[in-house]
Amino acid sequence: MQIRSILYSLLIFAALTAIPSSAAEPPDIAKTLDRILRAYNAADAKTFWEGASRQVSDFSRAADLFQFRYIEGPQATYGKYVSRVFREQESAITDDFAVLIYQTKCQKRPATLVVNMTKEDGEYRLVTLEFEDP
């Protein structure tokens, strides 16, 4: 499952790098990501997926899958999220999509955070979020 998301991220990143993009993290994305990561720390699946893209299936939003995919996986490995630094050169933001790469500090050890978002109804919405080894 992680390989598929990595390939998906790389494919979108490759496609978006050919499109002019904004380099800085927009405040609206930062605010959305702050809410998502607070929910991640609290193991709150409902709030985590609140306002997510319509591309995210009901199956993916299930509390049991959230527990397995985020709490028993990355949170067990890296610990709770503490802070992040936007990796501007590796990220791509367009009017329709955003592939965001961050270096994160977590309680147990650092991680790379890869976030894919799509713009729906005028705002960026979560599609995928993955913690990976730096």
What average pLDDT does the structure give for the chain? Answer: 85
Domain ranges of the chain: 2-132
DSSP string, 76-118: HHH-SEEEEEE-GGG-EE-SSEEEEEEEEEESSS-EEEEEEEE
- Residue 1 DSSP one-character state: -
List, for residues 44-79, the tens digit of each pLDDT value.
999 999 989 998 988 788 888 999 999 999 999 999
The pTM score is: 0.80
Question: Tokens 């609140």 map to which residue?
Answer: 50
List, for residues 90-110, the tens digit of each pLDDT value.
999 999 999 999 999 999 999
Is 20's pLDDT higher than 50?
no
CATH of 2-132, one of 3.40.50.300, 3.40.50.1370, 3.50.50.60, 3.10.450.50: 3.10.450.50
Q: Are 50 and 63 in contact (CB under 8 A)?
A: no
Helix (H) or strand (E) holding 128: strand 123-132
Q: 60-66: long-range contacts at Cβ-Cβ below 8 A with a sequence spacing of 24 or more?
A: none
